[in-house]
Chains A and B, each alone.
Chain A
Amino acid sequence: MKSKADVQQGTLALMVLKTLDVLGPQHGYGIARRIEQISGDLLAVNQGTLYPVLLRLEQEGAIDSEWGASDNNRRARFYRLTRDGRRQLQSEVADWNQTAEIIARFLAARAEDLG
């Protein structure tokens, strides 16, 4: 069995924001599962890191939480993106894309291109 990678430091917050943006309000377990699914089960989300990140995002005002009922009518805390969070997501996505593009360009570089 192929071992799953842990989420890279610093990217978990971005994944959380994106997940909430795409799928709307989610509870913690849901967020973790969705991230794992989206990654094609290549990532394992450690709850120990997820909850502090959720708390931090909430204290920063990027997300909001309230109690609600889950699919099978269980009480659960649902997180949703705030307007600040959406703005934060946009800027982080832009940053990330830029970084990725730069890295991709570097990795694609060949000697003759630069000659």
Chain B
Amino acid sequence: MKGLRALLVRDMRIAVRIGGGALMGVLFFLAVVTLTPFAVGPDLALLRRIGPAILWLGALLASLLALDRLFAADHEDGSLDLILMGAAPLELTVATKGLAHWLTTGLPLVVAVPVLGLLLDIEPNAIGVVALTLLVGTPALTFIGLIGAALAVALRRGGLLLPVLVLPLTVPVLIFGVSAADAAIIGPVPFGTPFTILCALTLMSLVVGPFAAAATLRHGLD
């Protein structure tokens, strides 16, 4: 446990230092959301309607940005060998790295939503709902992404493959994340229905992601 805590602290430290991936995701998110009104035009009604979808799309793409480096960086400098030899079960180690990645790239996206929601003319209470769906949904994106990140190590030059492999798996999360936000803002579906499914998807990915990623790392190493 002490070892896993050390790994969590190390990964978060690296992410927030210069050259780390923590700020990159938020900046990308900011760019996507700020540029949307320019592309769509000054139609406030339209922006309000597509706002949650834009926020979700931006968050989805931003959370994939630094993902391919998650294990690849450790593989290149030899750390991954030692991590694999470590005492903790690999599934837990992988989950710890996923948690560190979400805390440094996923959570800042959720924090940025209230600011960006203003640009899309989303009402304050609706911003809260979108932030809540992202808070619940972004861990699913990160933990599904773990599988792709592990494949990026196993396949070598898998960085390009990562979005292709991971994006289809994230489609259900996107659908239910956006529909939960829409349900709360425009109805008529009760908010609870899609939101519960979103929670279920997240819980499922928290289990499946680390096991699949650990299996990939075990078989992919040479």
Q: Do A and B come from one complex?
A: no
Residues of A within 8 A of B (CB): none
Residues of B within 8 A of A (CB): none
